[in-house]
Chain A
Amino acid sequence: MDFKGSDTIPGPRSEDHLPHTTTAAAKIVIVGGFGVGKTTMVGSVSEIRPLTTEETMTQAGIGVDDNYGSESKTATTVAMDFGRIRISDQVVLYLFGTPGQERFWFLWNGLFEGALGAVVLVDTRRLEVSFEVMGRLEERGVPFVVAVNTFPDGPRYPVEDLRAALDLQPEVPIVECDVRRRASSRDVLMTLMRFLHALALSRSRT
């Protein structure tokens, strides 16, 4: 890496600096199948230009002919888009749009373990691509809400039909949204926060 040849020093724009009083950050993950709108949602609510963090992994090639007779490995770069919202002078919230293939999730330490909660974005044209992701969240005990990104040509199902099809607990919220709109994406996050708040109340009573 060589920064000397460049006039620009990498880093945030001055207006994107967090105040020095910021003591801690929390994170939320946005999951869903490929092309369902995760990146669009991150971009519509983020206060900074969405950024991308990458992780690289290798996959041993099996049954792949190798010209040199050695074990072949291919490197795959997995990217994750994220954005940021300042909550107060002390707290900042990060939103991660995670890669749809859940086998890549382990690449980022604690991505799900530490997250306050998750938004599962679904597309009614391809509902089944979100099934695996929901199952993984349930197994890991990550609370989530379901946001239906409405596409004009997508089938419209009544919410109760969707709840039955997705086999969701009655308390798990399902909301319709248009992730291109900031207000709509923000409402999805508010729904998640209200759900987590209700969970906190019910758990503190038991």
Chain B
Amino acid sequence: MTPPQRQRRQPVPEPPEGPPQEDGKDVERLYVISGADGERAPLDLVTLIVARAEPPSSATPEQTAVLRMCRAPLSVAEISAYLSLPFSVMTVLLTEMLAADLVQARAPIVRQKIPDRSLLEAVMHGLQRL
């Protein structure tokens, strides 16, 4: 029996930005939001968020919930899951909280052209303990 055949592709220098068009239909985010300066903090799914303070009396219920759960570091993806809020809404909420100094963000480890060998070795050690 012969398996179906695929053809390898080459890296594309500049990946296309924004939503692809499919069948002529417009696909777009339901939530398009910008902050006061029109900028969103570059928050990744795995940016770690840590509370800097106890919830102030002026905090919204969402902010209070974030501050309570982020007493220990927690990724944006986890906060989004626990609050049942879409990722894009979560980044807006967190951008406001970062601007107000309520939380601190710890940037993720991202892929490098030459992968960081000591990191990979640490991950392998970590996986072996599973």
Which A residues are within 8 Å of any B CB, using their own CB? 1-4, 9-12, 17-20, 22-27, 45, 47, 51-60, 62, 75, 82, 84-88, 91-94, 96, 103, 106-111, 113-117, 124, 127-128, 131, 134-135, 138-142, 155, 157, 161-162, 165-169, 182, 186, 189-190, 193-194, 196-197, 199-201, 203-204
Is A115 within 8 A of B111, CB to CB?
yes
A-B contact count (CB 8 A): 251
Cβ of B3 to closest chain A Cβ, rounded Å = 4
Is B45 within 8 A of A53, CB to CB?
yes
Is A59 within 8 A of B26, CB to CB?
yes
Cβ of A3 to closest chain B Cβ, rounded Å = 5
Is A23 within 8 A of B106, CB to CB?
yes
Is A200 within 8 A of B78, CB to CB?
no
Is A51 within 8 A of B77, CB to CB?
yes
Which B residues are within 8 Å of any A CB, using their own CB? 1-12, 15, 18-20, 22, 24-31, 42-48, 50, 61-62, 64-65, 68-69, 71-75, 77-78, 80-88, 91, 106-111, 113-117, 119-128, 130
Q: Quick one: which of B81, B117, B119 contacts A53, CB cutoff 8 A?
A: B81
